[in-house]
Structure 1
Amino acid sequence: MTSEVDSSDAAGIPEFPMARAAGCPFDPPRGLYAIQQEGAPARVQLWDGSTPWMVTRHADQRMLLADARVSADPRRPGYPSALPISSDDSGAGFVVKDDPEHARLRRMVTAPFAIKRIEAMRPAVQEIVDKLIDTMLAGPKPVDLVEVFAQPVPSLVICDLLGVPYDDHDFFQLNSKRVVSRDTAPEERREALGRLTDYPDRLVGEKLDTPGDDLLSGLTERIKSGETTRKEAAVTGVLLLVAGHETTANMIALGTLVLLQHPDQFAFLRDTDDPNAVASAVEEMLRYLSIIHDGRRRAVIEDIEFAGRTIRAGEGLILANNIGNRDPEVFPDPDRLDIRRDARRHVAFGFGVHQCLGQPLARMELQVVYSTLAKRIPTLRLATALDKIPFKHDAAVYGVHELPVAW
Structure 2
Amino acid sequence: MTEAPPYPQKRTCPYEPPAGYREIGERGPVLKVTLFDGREAWMVTGYRESREILTHPNLSSQRTHPGFPIVAPRFRSQIARTLALIAMDPPVHDVYRRYLNPHFSLKAVRRMRPEIERIVAGFVDRIVEHGPPADLVPLLAVPLPSLVICRHLGVPYDDHDFFQDASGKVMLGTEEESATAAQELFDYIDRLVAEQIKNPSDGLLGTLVRERVVTGDIGHDELVSIALVLLIAAHETTSSSLALGVITLLEHPEQLALLHEDPDRLPGAVEELLRYIATTDLVATRVAKGDIEIAGHLIREGEGVLVSGTLANRDAAVHRRADELDLLREDSHHLTFGFGIHQCLGQNLARLELEVAFKELFGRLPGIRLAAPVAELPILGAGTVQRVLELPVEW
TM-score (norm 1): 0.92
Q: Where do 1:387-402 residues align within 5 Å?
A: 387-394=375-382, 396-402=384-390
Q: Secondary structure at the match of 2:35?
A: coil
Q: Confirm whether residue 366 of structure 1 aligns to residue 357 of structure 2.
A: no
Please state how far the C-alpha of 1:86 moved relative to its aligned partner: 4.1
Q: Confirm whether residue 194 of structure 1 aligns to residue 183 of structure 2.
A: yes
Structure 2 unpaired stretches of 5+:
none
Amino acid in structure 1 at the alignment position of 2:317: E
User: What's the counterpart of residue 4 of structure 1?
Assistant: none
- Picking from 229, 244, 258, the partner of 2:234 is 244
User: What's the counterpart of residue 167 of structure 1?
Assistant: 158
Q: Secondary structure at the match of 1:74?
A: coil
Task: Work out the CA distance in 2 between the residues paired with 1:208 and 1:57.
Answer: 46
Please state how far the C-alpha of 1:337 moved relative to its aligned partner: 0.4
Q: Is the 8 A contact 2:10 2:382 kept in 1?
A: no
Q: Confirm whether residue 64 of structure 1 aligns to residue 53 of structure 2.
A: yes
User: What's the counterpart of residue 34 of structure 2?
Assistant: 45
Please state how far the C-alpha of 1:14 moved relative to its aligned partner: 1.8
- Number of positions where the alignment pairs a residue of Structure 1 with one of Structure 2: 392
Task: Work out the CA distance in 2 between the residues paired with 1:252 and 1:343.
Answer: 22
Please state how far the C-alpha of 1:189 moved relative to its aligned partner: 1.8
User: What's the counterpart of residue 7 of structure 1?
Assistant: none
Provide, for residues 221-245 of structure 1, a one-character-per-residue CA deviation record: whole Å limited to 9, x for no partner. 2111110010010111011011111
Please state how far the C-alpha of 1:264 moved relative to its aligned partner: 2.1
Rate the CA distance shift 1:370–1:346 in 2: closer, same or farther, 3 A: same
Rate the CA distance shift 1:108–1:258 in 2: closer, same or farther, 3 A: same
User: What's the counterpart of residue 144 of structure 2?
Assistant: 153
Task: Work out the CA distance in 1 between the residues paired with 2:41 and 2:200.
Answer: 45
RMSD of aligned residue pairs (Cα, Å): 1.8
Amino acid in structure 1 at the alignment position of 2:243: A
Task: Work out the CA distance in 2 between the residues paired with 1:384 and 1:126.
Answer: 28
User: What's the counterpart of residue 6 of structure 1?
Assistant: none
Please state how far the C-alpha of 1:396 moved relative to its aligned partner: 4.0
Q: Is the 8 A contact 1:43 1:54 kept in 2?
A: yes
Which sits farther off after the overlay, 248-257 or 288-297?
Answer: 288-297
User: What's the counterpart of residue 300 of structure 1?
Assistant: 288
Q: Where do 1:186-225 residues align within 5 Å?
A: 186-221=175-210, 222-225=212-215
- Picking from 88, 106, 115, the partner of 1:124 is 115
Please state how far the C-alpha of 1:273 moved relative to its aligned partner: 4.0
TM-score (norm 2): 0.95
Q: Identity rate of aligned residues, in percent?
A: 41
Q: Secondary structure at the match of 2:286?
A: strand
Q: Secondary structure at the match of 2:287?
A: strand
User: What's the counterpart of residue 317 of structure 2?
Assistant: 329
Task: Work out the CA distance in 2 between the residues paired with 1:353 and 1:135.
Answer: 40
Provide, for residues 269-309 of structure 1, a one-character-per-residue CA deviation record: whole Å limited to 9, x for no partner. 223242xx211110000000121114521101111112221
Amino acid in structure 2 at the alignment position of 1:282: V
Structure 1 unpaired stretches of 5+:
1-10
Task: Work out the CA distance in 2 between the residues paired with 1:81 and 1:369.
Answer: 34
Q: Is the 8 A contact 1:74 1:87 kept in 2?
A: no
Q: Is the 8 A contact 2:45 2:307 kept in 1?
A: yes
Please state how far the C-alpha of 1:399 moved relative to its aligned partner: 3.5
Please state how far the C-alpha of 1:29 moved relative to its aligned partner: 2.1
Amino acid in structure 2 at the alignment position of 1:390: P
Amino acid in structure 1 at the alignment position of 2:207: G
Q: Is the 8 A contact 2:283 2:338 kept in 1?
A: no
Amino acid in structure 1 at the alignment position of 2:133: P
Q: Is the 8 A contact 1:52 1:78 kept in 2?
A: no
Q: Where do 1:126-141 residues align within 5 Å?
A: 126-141=117-132
Provide, for residues 361-380 of structure 1, a one-character-per-residue CA deviation record: whole Å limited to 9, x for no partner. 00111111111111111000
Q: Secondary structure at the match of 1:291?
A: coil
Please state how far the C-alpha of 1:12 moved relative to its aligned partner: 5.0
User: What's the counterpart of residue 3 of structure 1?
Assistant: none
Q: Is the 8 A contact 2:290 2:300 kept in 1?
A: yes
Q: Confirm whether residue 341 of structure 1 aligns to residue 329 of structure 2.
A: yes
Q: Is the 8 A contact 1:200 1:237 kept in 2?
A: yes
Amino acid in structure 2 at the alignment position of 1:374: F
Task: Work out the CA distance in 1 between the residues paired with 2:208 and 2:187.
Answer: 16
Amino acid in structure 1 at the alignment position of 2:221: K
Task: Work out the CA distance in 1 between the residues paired with 2:128 and 2:378.
Answer: 24
Q: Is the 8 A contact 1:40 1:309 kept in 2?
A: no
Please state how far the C-alpha of 1:38 moved relative to its aligned partner: 2.9
Task: Work out the CA distance in 1 between the residues paired with 2:369 and 2:263.
Answer: 22
Task: Work out the CA distance in 1 between the residues paired with 2:341 and 2:40.
Answer: 26
User: What's the counterpart of residue 245 of structure 2?
Assistant: 255
Amino acid in structure 2 at the alignment position of 1:129: V
Task: Work out the CA distance in 2 between the residues paired with 1:190 and 1:388.
Answer: 30
Provide, for residues 361-405 of structure 1, a one-character-per-residue CA deviation record: whole Å limited to 9, x for no partner. 001111111111111110000001121111222474224211110
- Picking from 249, 253, 256, the partner of 1:266 is 256
Amino acid in structure 2 at the alignment position of 1:243: A
4+ runs deviating over 4 angstroms: none
User: What's the counterpart of residue 298 of structure 2?
Assistant: 310
User: What's the counterpart of residue 5 of structure 1?
Assistant: none
